[in-house]
Amino acid sequence: MVAALSPPRILPSGDAAITVEFSRTIDEEANRRVLALDKLVASAGLAAVTETVPTYRSLLVHYDPLQLGFDALGEKLTELALQPLPEAKAARRWRIPVAYGGENGIDLEDVAKALNITPDEVVARHVGGDYKVAMIGFTPGWSYLSGLPGSMQMSRRQNPRLLTPPGTISIGGIQTGVQCLAGPSGWHLLGRTAVRTYQLGRDPIFLLEPGDAITFAAVDEKTFAEQDRAAEAGAFVAELIAS
């Protein structure tokens, strides 16, 4: 006997979007329900739905109110959200190479000091994690991963940096992230990857999907430089190790 699913909260995000909220906290089960609802909405062929944005704990559904009102869509989404979850099947898994420390990861030493371990141990723990893309957001390709080992969790920086390099791999709170474009960040920078999670002119433009599994692999600076040139020319660099 499977426990009945609790109904999500149907929250208005203005007059043309609904937030379907499963949890207020970061919660693996809630994220599974978000991603399952995302697939169900896509396959339900709801003409009024224009696009969906899965996040850790909620699914944002953009819709055209000329075609369907808030109450009717809210009921439909609740109905879909209460369908039994599909069997958890193996997600596709990417191996993402990371050059840790040095210029590529300027916070590695400080993170090691804060955790009272060596920088090598920080790298070993980060590489040892089993991650999942919980959501992609903020800027193109910025992938938020769940699964950071509990022994690496620390609060964000007091002073966010206004500019961090493209490809930055960082940790913040209970998350780790793969950042694609240069931009501001309040997280601790551990390294860089040559992988472009977003690249115009490449097929696909966006490499990672919410729900994908991720493994990190440490590479040296020379390999990073070679991979960076290959990635610039359109190579994935990330390796699909299960699909």
Partner 1 sequence: MSKLIVTSVSPGTSVQDVGRFGAQRYGLVPSGAVDRLAMAAANALLGNTLFAATIELGPLNSVFTAKGGAVRISLTGATRPADIAGTPFNVNTSVTLADGESLNLGVARAGTFGYLAIEGGIRGEPMFGSLAVNARAGLGSPYPRPLQVGDELPVATASSANEKRIDLPAPVEGPIRVVLGPQDDEFGDAKDLFLSSDWKISATSDRMGYRLEGPVIKHLHGHNIVSDGTVNGSIQVPGNGQPIVLMPDRGTSGGYPKIATVISTDLGRFGQTQPGRAFRFKAISMAEAQAEYRAFAELLQSLPGRVHDSNILMLDIKALLSANVAGVAVSATDDNTWQAPQPADAQD
Q: Give me the least distance between CB of 141 and partner 1, in Å please.
A: 6
Determine, following the binding rule CB under 8 A, whether residue 65 of this chain makes contact with partner 1: yes
CA dist 170 and 185 (Å) reads 9
Q: Give me the least distance between CB of 139 and partner 1, in Å please.
A: 5
Nearer to partner 1, 100 or 142 (CB): 142
Contacts to partner 1 from residues 25-44, by CB under 8 A? 25-26, 38
Q: Give me the least distance between CB of 89 and partner 1, in Å please.
A: 20
Nearer to partner 1, 133 or 194 (CB): 133
Determine, following the binding rule CB under 8 A, whether residue 14 of this chain makes contact with partner 1: yes
CB 184 within 8 A of CB 160: yes
Contacts to partner 1 from residues 69-88, by CB under 8 A? 69-71
Q: Which of 6, 11, 130, 240 touches partner 1 (CB under 8 A)?
A: 11
Give the Å distances, CA to CA, from 59 to 27, 31, 81, 168: 14, 9, 10, 26
Q: Is 99 helix (H, G, I), strand (E, B) or coil?
A: strand
Strands 93-100 and 213-218: parallel
Q: Which of 8, 56, 169, 238 touches partner 1 (CB under 8 A)?
A: 56
Report the candidate in 56, 58, 64, 203 with the shortest Cα–Cα distance to residue 144: 56
Q: Give me the least distance between CB of 35 and partner 1, in Å please.
A: 11
What are 185's strand-pairing partners?
Answer: 161
Nearer to partner 1, 70 or 236 (CB): 70
Determine, following the binding rule CB under 8 A, whether residue 45 of this chain makes contact with partner 1: no
Nearer to partner 1, 33 or 101 (CB): 33
What the block records as the tokens of 114 is 């804060």
What the block records as the tokens of 54 is 């899965």
DSSP secondary structure of 206-241: B---TT-EEEEEE--HHHHHHHHHHHHTT---SEEE
Residues that bind partner 1 (CB under 8 A): 11-17, 19, 21, 23-26, 38, 50-60, 62, 65-66, 69-71, 135-142, 144, 181, 183, 198, 200, 205-206, 210
